Structure 1
Amino acid sequence: MKIEIKDLRFIYPTGLEALKGISLTIEAGEQVAIVGQNGAGKTTLVRHFNGLLQPASGSVLIGDWDVKKYSVAKLASRVGYVFQNPDEQLFSRDVLTEVTFGPKNLKYAKEKIDELVKRALSLTELNDKTETNPYDLSPTWRKMVALASIIAMDTPIVIFDEPTTGQDAVNVARIANVIAELKKEGKTVITITHDIDFCAENFERVIALSKGQVLLDGPAREVLGQEEILAQTYVDPPQLTRLGKRLGLKETVRNQEEFLNSL
């Protein structure tokens, strides 16, 4: 499902203009990473996609829906949002109830709910934890419960807010696998991240924000190769990208495979 943003501006009650006329189009099925320093406007931007924030001016279209005309509850059928801190999302007595809540609230048929929940639990490796209270799990597994609860809603757009923060290498790999599966299903996946290596390995398009404006936007290889411009928003390219530049490799490389092939 396409997202169209036209001249989007947002001002907080303090008077801070967090977004300064952003215009973007994210096509259906794209995998997009949004990067930038704290305060660049990343979270402010994506919270317009599900109605948590409303534009001061400009517009945001989710498919053919103008977010100004739809409630957060209604937009939840199109946009799933996995918060950075899973504790802000989880409230049920056990994992199964938590994961079932979303699709049930969207009033799907029971057969579809069962199918979606089964798939979400399998994809996040939570099948053996369905009867456990989420708060009896480690923060790593609570993240997976939050992720499963959104996947089970089967929204065409899924947003991950800092998915790798506080996660070990095993769980980062699980999250990457989930993103790969969503991509196969044609979902639009958007992430806000400071983990530039995770960004390089899992996303084809990168949008860099700085002070409420788009600094760079394009294919990951092109954006991540512009070290001097990225420095304006305090983002360093991936380690292998920087190493490749210093070794004089002709192409910008993002990961091990590209590095070795170029070498």
Structure 2
Amino acid sequence: MEPFIKVTGVSHVYPNGVTAIQDVNLEIGEGEIVAVLGSNGSGKTTLVKHFNGLLKPTTGQVTVGNMNTKKERIAKLSSLVGYVFQNPNHQTFLPTVRQELYYGCKNLKISEEETEKRVKKAIELFELENLLDANPFDLNSSKRKEIGMASIMAISPKVVVLDEPTTGQDHKGCKRVLELVKMFHEHGHIVVLVTHDMQLIGELNCRVVIMNKSRKIADDRADVVFKNQELLKTADLQPPQVMELANQLTYLNRNESYLTIDSIVKWFKHNKKGLEEERKIGTGS
């Protein structure tokens, strides 16, 4: 099957002469969740901004669906790729939540009937029935970020890009982001995450692309990438804390990756009998 997003030999040089990404090749297909990781300045955000035309390749080519992003306007590409910014203040600007939800569909000239259907779906999925007349700027940062995601859901693009979705979130907010990522995926969207949140990626155990010094240096599942300590050191990244804990537990199977607390608990439950017998032998009881 032809990939929905195809990046071929793409480099991007900013007007000040800085090369942000260099000779990147990447394909993203139907039904994928892809996390783009890297330290600050690695090129990860520059890369994903090519998906909806916010940036155009200096050299190389990006295609989304059957569209060459270099030849298309952002407005047209945004019907296929929705971008949720890290700062919710860059996403919301209208006086009510209701207007925010309708804005994207109206801007894309989607029919009134279809707009009503899409907005209703977004309201229900994000449980916004009691907030429609609220001013987004009267809401906390977590809720404003959800409004931004809901407005993208209303447009119903094939691809949803989430730029640092857990930044500034407390534990409850991070859990909610995880739920929303899964919800987008379950409703047929390709999800692309730009993030430093290794625990979020551990929970998803999705495909991981690592950028380092403007180049792509890895592309594999999280459980594979996070076991490669040399790779993580090169990219100046740390694995999830749970995985670091698991590495200290000598009982665990060294051939497995433990990305969540649940995976560790599951191992102990499965091996409980053997551990108890081992303990009895060790204590002589």
Counterpart pick for 1:257 among 249, 254, 262: 262
Q: Quick check: 2:8–2:61 contact (8 Å CA) kept in 1?
A: yes
Q: Which residue of the other structure, out of 43, 57, 73, is the alignment partner of 2:59?
A: 57
How far apart are residue 3 of structure 1 and its match?
Answer: 0.6
Alignment correspondent of 2:274 = none
Counterparts of 1:179-218 in structure 2, within 5 Å, are: 179-218=181-220
Tell me the SS of whatever aligns to 2:137. Answer: helix
* 1:11 and 2:16 matched: no
Secondary structure, in 3 states, of the residue corresponding to 1:55? Answer: coil
Instruction: Give the ranges of 4+ consecutive aligned residues of structure 1 lying more than 3 Å apart after TM superposition.
Output: none
Code of the residue aligned with 2:239 in structure 1: it is P
The alpha-carbon deviation at position 165 of structure 1 amounts to: 0.4
Q: State the one-letter code of the partner of 1:170.
A: K
Please state how far the C-alpha of 1:124 moved relative to its aligned partner: 2.2
Identity of aligned residues (%): 38
Separation in 2 of the partners of 1:121 and 1:203?
Answer: 28
Amino acid across the alignment from 1:3: I
**Number of equivalent positions:** 263
Q: Which amino acid aligns with 2:186?
A: K
Amino acid at match of 1:31: I
Q: Which amino acid aligns with 1:194?
A: H
Equivalent position of 1:46 in the other structure:
48
Q: Give the TM-score normalised by the residue count of structure 2.
A: 0.88
Name the SS for the 1:68 alignment partner. Answer: coil
Distance (Å, rounded) in 2 between the aligned partners of 1:93 and 1:149: 14
Give matches, 1:101-120, under 5 Å. 101-120=103-122
Q: Which runs of 5 or more residues in structure 2 are unaligned?
A: 269-285
Structure whose alpha-carbon radius of gyration is higher: 2
Rounded Cα–Cα distance in structure 1 between residues aligned with 2:203 and 2:90: 28
Paired residues for 1:93-242 under 5 Å: 93-242=95-244
CA shift for structure 1 position 94: 0.2
Report if aligned partners of 1:124, 1:174 keep a CA contact under 8 Å in 2.
Answer: no
Distance between the aligned counterparts of 1:95 and 1:203, measured in 2? 33
- Paired with 1:112 and 1:178, the residues of 2 have a C-alpha distance of 23
Contact 2:205 2:223 in 1 (8 A): no
Q: Is the CA contact (8 Å cut-off) linking 1:33 and 1:203 kept in structure 2?
A: no
Does the Cα contact within 8 Å between 1:33 and 1:199 map onto a contact in 2? yes
Equivalent of residue 91 in structure 1, options 67, 89, 93: 93
Q: Provide structure 1 residue ranges, at least 5 long, that are not aligned to the other structure.
A: none
Distance 2:218 2:99 in 1: 41
Aligned CA RMSD, in angstroms, stands at 1.4
- Counterpart CA distance in 2 for 1:244 and 1:30 is 27
Q: Distance in 2 between matches of 1:119 and 1:168?
A: 27
Counterpart-to-counterpart distance in 1, 2:39 and 2:77 = 28
User: Post-superposition shift, 1:97?
Assistant: 0.4
**Which moved further from structure 2: 240-249 or 1-10?**
240-249
Shift of 1:89: 1.5
In the TM superposition, what whole-angstrom CA distance separates every residue of 1:15-45 from its partner, at most 9, and x where no partner exists?
1111110001111120011111000001100
Partner of 1:69: 71
Q: Alignment partner of 1:127: what SS?
A: coil
The Cα shift of 1:203 comes to 4.6
Which of 6, 20, 23 is matched with 1:21 structurally?
Answer: 23
- Write the deviation string for residues 163-198 of structure 1: whole angstroms up to 9, x where unpaired: 000112222222222211221122100000011101
116-125 or 155-164, which deviates more? 116-125
Q: Distance in 2 between matches of 1:26 and 1:95?
A: 32
Does the CA contact (< 8 Å) of 1:208 and 1:230 recur in 2?
Answer: no
